[in-house]
Amino acid sequence: MDIRTGVIVLALFAVFGAILSFRGAIRNMQSARKISFYSLRKRYNMIAARLVLLSLVLIGLAFWFPTGGEQTIYRVFPPSATPSLTPTLTLTPTITLTPTITLSPTLTPTPLVSDTPTLTPTPFLPVAIEALFAGPVTPNPEAVFTAIQFSTLFDGVNAVDPKTVFELPIETIYGGFDYNNTLPGVQWTALWYRNGELVCYETQPWSEEWGTGGIGGYTSCATPLGGWQAGNYEVQIFMGYEWKVVGRFVVLDSLTPVFTPFITATP
């Protein structure tokens, strides 16, 4: 590849990088609009501004490479004359045989219905939550959690009368679990989603009091974003960046039937 071609390739890469940076800035601004926390929204807007500045710089480089960039490269690496090749004798092609009749391909049966498997998304930590980490993020790979049991009461050891369907109004919901092979100090996180939207969370280093194994672990949510509303809820628990367990429950509107008594007249 000669210098001219290399300069054109660099210009194309700069244009491509500018498009990606500008696209990333738009995504960060859209994400900032959905975040209710001021500090996180400000951080996303700063990242978006930097990406816009980077895209402008890349666009400037894309215009500079074919003009000033090529001249600068020639000053550092002056071109050298290359000898021209002497053409050799060209052989005259012989007579090409005409192919005989070509068989037509047969029809391949196409299935009428094709089953396309649906993808199940793997739980992951949002960038805004990772920014709040205060402890180490390398957990014991053998750490395990039992299934999460949900209840509106927690006696300090177990969820009282656990269930998966709740009715409004609700004050607090606890998610109890047992655990083993955990490391104190490692950052652990519980994310509460309603219909796929993050409404509550907690993230902190694993407590020394809980130790490396036992019962009575729990996560709770008292003031979800927008208050308790009817919908499908999902709780995801992570140790560091590793997803460990997921629990689900449903919240329904309080539909209490109203009975109207019939008055019977006494003669």
Is 91 inside any structural domain? no
- Spatial CA neighbour of 188 closest among 208, 172, 171: 208
Domain assignment present for 86: no
Q: pTM surpassing 0.75?
A: no
Please report whether residue 125 resides in a domain: no
pLDDT at 72: 72
pLDDT value for 100: 60
Q: Considering the domain boundaries, does residue 58 fall inside one?
A: yes
What is the model's pLDDT at position 102?
Answer: 61
- The pLDDT averaged over each successive group of 10 residues in the chain (267 residues) is 74 83 83 79 84 85 74 67 57 61 57 46 88 87 94 92 95 95 94 96 92 92 94 96 95 64 44
**What's the chain's length in residues?**
267
Position 240 scores a pLDDT of 92
Query: Quick check: is 34 in a domain?
Result: yes
Same-domain check for residues 139 and 39: no
Domain identity same for 161 and 231: yes
**Does 162 lie in the same domain as 65?**
no
Q: Is residue 263 in a domain? A: no
Domain assignment of residue 46, yes or no:
yes
Do 72 and 163 fall into the same domain? no
**Same domain (yes/no): 160, 58:** no
Give domain status of residue 82, yes or no: no
Structural domain for 18, as ranges = 3-76
